[in-house]
Amino acid sequence: MMNRSAGQISRRKLLGVFAATMVTAAPVYSKTFSLLKGAGDIRKISMRSPRTGESIDTIYWIEGDYIKEAMKEINHFMRDWREDSMVRMDQRNFDIIAASHRLLDTDEPYTLLSGYRSAKTNAMLRHRSRGVAKNSLHIKGMAADLRLNSRSVGQIAQAGTACSSGGVGRYSRSNFVHLDCGAVRSWGR
């Protein structure tokens, strides 16, 4: 039996404090662990753009540090090609893209259909298609529309969903998946 003087804490009380801390922190830790699942100690983006003819295959994160020059390259690559404008993309989306790609176990680069979109481009696309959101996360640099020839829309969506870190939209008729770093949600077939 432990002596309970003023300076000592009982084992039961210590375990209670630990349990309360873990319960409070659980939502944060679970999201962090699920986001990093499959991302590895080295994170890499591998994509090609049929719109610009460009490709990117770069390591952008090593053991907890984002590589500034690689981030600039990715931001440029994911620009609004219609207006040749870019923003600083949300790096959380890069992590989701990298983790989902790694989970798919393929060397084929993603085909980027849309990354950043200016408000003007988004309005034009919205006028052409009812599937474009008025306040799209593409405008904020928080989304990407991706495709792989070697994987189905369902497989890519499953990998994105496994990350539990943002929105996953299935667009089977158009053969692409929308991945974003907004609220965790899913839509489409």
Sequence length of the chain is 189
Tokens read off for 86? 């870019």
**What's the rounded Cα separation, in Å, for the pair 53 and 81?**
11
Topology of domain 35-188 in CATH is: Muramoyl-pentapeptide Carboxypeptidase; domain 2 (3.30.1380)
What does the domain layout of the chain look like in residue ranges?
35-188
What is the pLDDT at residue 128?
Answer: 83
CB 158, CB 179: distance < 8 Å: no
- pLDDT tens per residue, the chain (189 residues)? 444 444 454 445 434 444 443 333 334 334 444 455 455 589 999 999 999 999 999 999 998 899 999 999 999 999 999 999 999 999 999 999 999 999 999 999 999 999 999 989 888 887 787 777 778 899 999 999 999 999 999 999 999 999 999 999 999 999 999 999 999 999 998
